[in-house]
Structure 1
Amino acid sequence: MTAPQAFPLEPTPIHVPDTVLDDLRTRLAATRPPLDEGNEDWSYGVPAAYLGELVAY
């Protein structure tokens, strides 16, 4: 049995208007994450600290 062939991934340029990106940044900055007690093991989803780092990026 042979391994399945992976298809080559190639970057695909996209265009997103600056107004859309500005709106997204505004919405992300205004987001208030829920309390995240007891979620260090990701059992309830993405931990708030990790998500906060991702949003800040």
Structure 2
Amino acid sequence: MQITCNAGRSTEKKRALYARMAQLLSEHAGIAPADLVISLIELHAENWSFAHGLMP
């Protein structure tokens, strides 16, 4: 699973996210936690454009 988000979260927050995702995907989708690979890609605001080619 790949997540693209704004930069700035602490390592502790990322660890908590990964653990919670593994738990929920196991419980609700039947995906074994050992089979889950998560890649988090952090971008700074100047690297986003959501519409019309405009930057935030």
TM-score by length of 2: 0.35
Largest Rg, 1 or 2: 1
Larger relative helix fraction:
2
Structure whose residues are more often strand by fraction:
2
Work out which structure has the larger RCO, using CA pairs closer than 8 Å and 6 or more positions apart in sequence: 2
